[in-house]
Structure 1
Amino acid sequence: MEKYFIDTTYKNVDYTLSAPAFGEYEGCTFQNCNFSNSNLGKISFIDCVFNHCNISNAQLAEAIIRDVQFNHCKMMGLHFETCSDFLFSASFTQCTLNLSSFYKLKMKNTAFNDCTLHEIDFTDTDLTGASFTNCDLKGATFDNTLLEKADLSTAYNYIIDPDRNKIKKAKFSKDGLPGLLMKYNIVVR
């Protein structure tokens, strides 16, 4: 039987010792919790906030993530593409998301603020209107990615092939031009 947890705050819980109870968490806050390598599959997180949590390598199969805020979290090696894609929505502030994947997810208007996104996979992802404020995208994969109206004007270390991605009305800074022209092997000064 599924359990419901509403407007509850969890502080300093180590979920590596025992996974969170299966059910639906709505309006809950997780503060300084360790979910590393935990199984979060089929758990619903709706209007939740994760602050200073370690969620690295957690299993997300069929997890529901809707209107969730991740702040100052370590989130390496996550396969968000295994989450339920129905109404998937999240925001990320000062998170480390290295080696994670958002393959084929619809993430319109998603906000990434001051995040490290090394070796992230955005293949076939819909990032229409997304913002990457002061984000490090070193080694990120953009292939057949929908970036229309996305704001990468303060993002850096990205390589995006305009012929392999949809970038109409996306915003880039002059400093980001080398990342758009990399395939031409030209020098921009």
Structure 2
Amino acid sequence: MGGARATGGAAGKAGVRAGAKGARRPEVRLPPLEAYRGGGLEPDGDYDGLRFQDEDFAGQDGGGARFMDCALTGCAVDETRLHHARFLDSVLTGLRGVGTDLAESTLRDVEIVDARLGGVQLHGAVLERVLIRGGKIDYLNLRKARLRDVVFEGCVLAEPDFGGARLERVAFTDCTLKGADLTGVTLTDVDLRGAAELEIARGVERLRGAVISPGQLLDLAPVLAAELGVRVEAEE
């Protein structure tokens, strides 16, 4: 637990600012886009400079597809297969669906805004310079994924699974983490201080490399005591 730093006072805050590296946010500037004309997703499809508006991709197979300079707005992705897909310099707004398969996909310079998703499979995925803002994602599977320069902002993550993942320069700002699984996770410059709610179900011993607030340390005290085998009882 030596690496999970709780900060307090001006000196502590200055030390964190000097020692912790902040996440780099994506800077997505979309060019003029053409409207997607339908036809359904295709495996290994190549989508460049397109606007997808209120499309229903439920159950479709876009495995290995590449989306570059695209905007997907209000699209349904229930059980959509996007295994090993690549999203580059794109904005995904208002996606909704259950069981979306994005395993081993790549998201680079991407904004995900107001998503309403459940059971999303992102295990083994690579996320770099990604902003996830607003919305709610239930049972997010990020096992063995690699996250670098990722910001979770104003969103709700219910029972996210980070098992075996590597997080570097990741920040949680005004978001809620409920029942997070950190089993086997590796953290480097991960800032949890801005989380509105921080609940760790498993893997609290893996917080080395994270920054937490004094209040969060107090909230986590019972979990930490249980992990260390410490009994906390009032004096008789």
Q: Is the 2:65–2:82 contact (alpha carbons within 8 Å) kept by the matching residues of 1? A: no
What's the TM-score once normalised by structure 2's chain length?
Answer: 0.68
Q: If each structure's helix is expressed as a fraction of its own residues, which one has the higher value? A: 2
Closer, same or farther: CA 101–22 of 1 in aligned 2, 3 Å: closer
Please tell me whether residue 50 in structure 1 is matched to residue 92 in structure 2.
yes
Q: List runs of 5+ in structure 2 lacking aligned partners.
A: 1-42, 227-231
Go from structure 1 to structure 2 and tell me whether the alpha carbon gap of 1:2 and 1:120 turns closer, same or farther (over 3 Å shift): closer
Q: In the alignment, which residue of structure 1 is the partner of 2:10?
A: none
Aligned equivalent of 2:200? 159
User: Is 1:33 matched up with 2:67?
Assistant: no
Instruction: Give TM-score, length-normalised by structure 1.
Output: 0.83
CA distance in structure 2 between the aligned counterparts of 1:142 and 1:179, rounded to whole angstroms: 17
Identity of aligned residues (%): 21
How many residue pairs align between the two structures? 183
Within 5 Å, give how 1:14-163 maps onto structure 2. Answer: 14-16=56-58, 18-19=60-61, 23-83=65-125, 85=126, 88-89=127-128, 90-155=130-195, 156-159=197-200
- CA distance in structure 1 between the aligned counterparts of 2:147 and 2:64, rounded to whole angstroms: 25
| Structure ranking higher in strand proportion | 2
In the other structure, the counterpart of 1:13 is: 55
C-alpha displacement of 1:82: 4.5
Asked which structure has the greater RCO (Cα within 8 Å, sep 6+), the reply is 2
- Quick one: structure 1 residues 158 and 32, their matched pair in 2 at CA, closer, same or farther if it must change by over 3 Å? same
* Greater mean deviation of Cα atoms: 113-122 or 35-44: 35-44
For residues 150 and 61 of structure 2, the distance between their equivalents in structure 1, rounded to whole angstroms, comes to 28
Change in Cα spacing, 1:152 to 1:16, as seen in structure 2 (3 Å) is same
Q: What is the Cα-based RMSD across aligned positions, in Å?
A: 2.6
Runs of 4 or more, structure 1, over 4 Å off, are 17-22, 160-163
Structure 1 residue 66 displacement after superposition: 2.5
- One-letter identity of the residue aligned with 2:72: F
Q: Which runs of 5+ in 1 are unaligned?
A: none
Q: Which has the larger radius of gyration?
A: 2
Alpha-carbon distance in 1 for matches of 2:124, 2:173: 26
Do the aligned partners of residues 53 and 128 (structure 1) sit closer, same or farther apart at CA in structure 2, a change above 3 Å counting? same
